[in-house]
Amino acid sequence: MANEIVTTAQERMKHSLASLQRDLGHLRAGRANASLLDRVQVVYYGAPTPLNQLASITIPEARVLMVTPFDKSILKDIEKSLYESDLGITPANDGSVIRLVIPMLTEERRRELVKEMGKYIESAKVAIRNIRRDAMDTAKKSEKAKEITEDDLKDLENEIQKVTDDAVKEADRLASVKEKELLDI
């Protein structure tokens, strides 16, 4: 029972960290990154479809994303979706492919991105702390139900806290890597 509580908490924390990593990947850092287009949806035959299912996304240069649709007839739809997205990048359509040139970041924009990143980090830490609280509550309920002893409860709480500390350290590490990427370009 005790190991199950820790394992469950650990898995949930890993999911929170994976979500944080996805969110950080969407921050535009002055370099071309195909994950920038993960959230772009294109209306294809009346249904919103992820862009990566309708086109190949390549990076021919460090600051250029090239979108090559599998079906050339949807080129205009893809271009329209890119205009309407929150990317802030104007697509260049040459009739067969769409190029997205990632502009260099200004100092002001870098600072804004670091602030936005801070929101993602804090959100992930809150999620991790909530998972810790849930695990602690489950452990206390097990102790009240006489499934584990009071000593086992203390050991379990210490183990849950250790897993939590490790997850928070990993979130901080991800943040420092992304911050360095944003500020050192």
Mean pLDDT of 71-84: 86
Q: How far is CA 50 from the centre of its chain?
A: 16
Which pLDDT score, from 0 to 100, does residue 129 have? 95
**pLDDT, tens only, 100-139:** 888 777 788 788 888 888 899 999 999 999 999 999 999 9
Q: At what angle do helices 107-144 and 150-183 cross, to 10 degrees?
A: 170
Mean pLDDT value across the chain: 86
- Residue-wise pLDDT for 133-144, tens only, equals 999 999 999 889
DSSP 123-168: HHHHHHHHHHHHHHHHHHHHHHTTSS-HHHHHHHHHHHHHHHHHHH
Question: What letter represents residue 185's amino acid?
Answer: I
User: What is the CB neighbour count within 10 angstroms for residue 172?
Assistant: 13
**The whole model's pTM is what?**
0.69
77-97 CB burial, b ≥16 within 10 A, e <16: bbbebbeebebebebeeeeeb
- pLDDT confidence bin for 30, thresholds 50/70/90: low
Structural domains in the chain, sorted by start: 2-26+106-183 (1.10.132.20), 34-101 (3.30.1360.40)
Average pLDDT over residues 139-162: 90
